[in-house]
Structures are given as C-alpha cells and as structure tokens.
Structure 1
Amino acid sequence: MYKQLTFTLGLLAASLAFAHDQGAVEEMPPASPYVQVSEVLPLPAFIPGLGTLFVNPDTLPAGPFLGYDHDGKLSATIYMTPLEELENGVSYDDLGIGAHKVTSVDIYYNAGHPGVEVPHAHVVLFHDEAAKGRLAK
C-alpha cells in the first residue's frame, strides 16, 4: 500500500507540471479529442463526486478525465490508475491536468466500472475550494 501511495503522490507531482491548453477545457464541452464518457460507456451523464466526465480515448485507462459541474464549469481532473498495473511497475508519465490551480486532492479505491473494469485508484484534483461540493450531487 505504501508503494502505491508513494507512486500516486509522485504521479500527482508530475502531473502538476504538465497541463492542457487551459482555456480550451474550462467550460464544457472541451474540444476534440475529448469525448463525453456517458456517450461511449454505460455510465450516467453526471456521476456524483466526479461530475460530467470527458476523456481523450487515447489516454485510457489513466486519463486525465475532466469533471464538469452542473453548470459546465471544469471542477476536477481525475485519474483512474489500475492497481495491478501499478503493482507491476507501470508508470503514467506526463499526464495532463485540466487547470493549473489545484486546491485539494482525494485518492480512493474503486472496485471497477465500465471503462476501467479492474480495481483501480481514483486520484481527483479539485480546481477550486467549492468544486467538491458542486460535484457531490
């Protein structure tokens, strides 16, 4: 577990150094190559805690997934890193972020869901103080 947490924190630090064109993703929908996850997978349009998700399919499984609130504002960047891959030494380098400002980070386990069916860690970067609340419901 310690190795996974260390890797995830390293992943977070590396991701903060690399960002998308922030202006192109601030409001929903982001430009191509991003697709709305709920339009390509059997998931709801809005997922409580994550928002309305968009992802570049070429960056799966890790992402970044861009999470938008009900008003279409970018609120979070989410990574979904399979635990087995992390345990086997796979690294995800130079992952993008939706916005340079990150006010808090949550990391938690997910047993799997459409798109990332295997157990994985969600790493959620919130982009402003109220983002977590706006994405909660």
Structure 2
Amino acid sequence: MKSSVFALVTAIALTSAPALAHDEEALKSAPPGEPYVQVSDVLPLPEFIPGLGTLFVDPETLPAGPFLSYDHAGKLSATVYMTPLEELENGTAYEGLAIGSHTVSSAEVYYNAGHPGVDKPHAHIVLYHDGDARTRLAK
C-alpha cells in the first residue's frame, strides 16, 4: 500500500508541472478568479477548514481537483487532490492535473471517509507550497 501511495504522489508531481496552463502569479492570492469557485459557497462546508484552509476549485475538474488551498491571509498554501478510492481501484487515472504553484516543499497523502462534494471514501493528496504552509492551514 505504501508503495502504491508513493507511486501516486510521484505520478501527480511529475505530470502536474507540464500540465499548467494558467498564470501562476494570479493564483498566489485569494480569490483566484474564474473558473475557480469557493467551495464553501457551493457546498455545506465551512469557509476555512482546519488542515485544508479556504478551498477553491474549478467545478469542471471534480472530483480530483485541484483544490487551491489558501491560509487566513489569503496566501496560496497548498494544492489538494481528492481521488475516490473506488475509482482508483477500478483503474481510473488522473493525469495532467494542474497545480497552484511550481514550488512544492512537501506532500501528504491520507484517507478521508467522505464529505460533501466527495461523498465516497477517497485519498487527500496535499502538496504544500512552502515550509510554513501546513502550520498556517492547521488552525
């Protein structure tokens, strides 16, 4: 299981950078603008989710995302993907996923049982964009 998670994170990191077709500078501060919508405006979720921050997503990229994660000051802190486990088990590949910033200081992958927007069990893949991002998103 650990090797498949590592392979997933590696694949996302390697395929995301070339797929960027947006102005990275425009995404550094919230709100990121079209086509992104604030997740809390369209789903019954709080505006700021401890551990994930204030999330924005292009609805066309659901369920995987990317979800752009901003801290309380509106600074882009992480890019988050939410990949349903059932779809991964059935062979779905999420290729060419965009990222909010080319700078990635660390990554985390963890299980989520489901929540509004991605109801089925899924993996959260979080790419932090600087060394303090995780701390800023924690509370």
TM-score band by shorter chain is over 0.9
Residue matched to 2:105: 103
Mapped partners of 2:106, 2:18: distance in 1: 16
Mapped partners of 1:55, 1:10: distance in 2: 21
Kindly provide the amino acid, as one letter, of the partner of residue 80 in structure 2: I
Residue matched to 1:80: 82
For residue 131 of structure 1, the aligned residue among 121, 124, 133 is 133
Mapped partners of 1:4, 1:82: distance in 2: 15
Q: Give the superposition deviation at 1:31.
A: 1.1
CA contact (8 A) 1:112 1:120 kept: yes
Residue matched to 1:16: 17
Q: Give the superposition deviation at 1:98.
A: 0.2
The percentage of aligned residue pairs carrying the same residue is: 63
Q: Give the superposition deviation at 1:2.
A: 5.0
TM-score, L = length of structure 2: 0.94
Secondary structure (helix, strand or coil) at the match of 2:56 reads strand
Q: Give the superposition deviation at 1:3.
A: 6.6
Post-superposition Cα deviations, 1:75-132, rounded to whole Å, max 9, x if no partner, equal 0000000000000000011100000100000100000000000000000000001100
Secondary structure (helix, strand or coil) at the match of 1:63 reads coil
Mapped partners of 2:9, 2:102: distance in 1: 18
For residue 49 of structure 1, the aligned residue among 29, 48, 51 is 51
TM-score, L = length of structure 1: 0.95
Mapped partners of 1:60, 1:39: distance in 2: 15
Tell me the number of residue pairs that the alignment of Structure 1 and Structure 2 aligns: 137
Q: What is the alpha-carbon root mean square deviation over aligned residues?
A: 1.2
Kindly provide the amino acid, as one letter, of the partner of residue 25 in structure 2: G
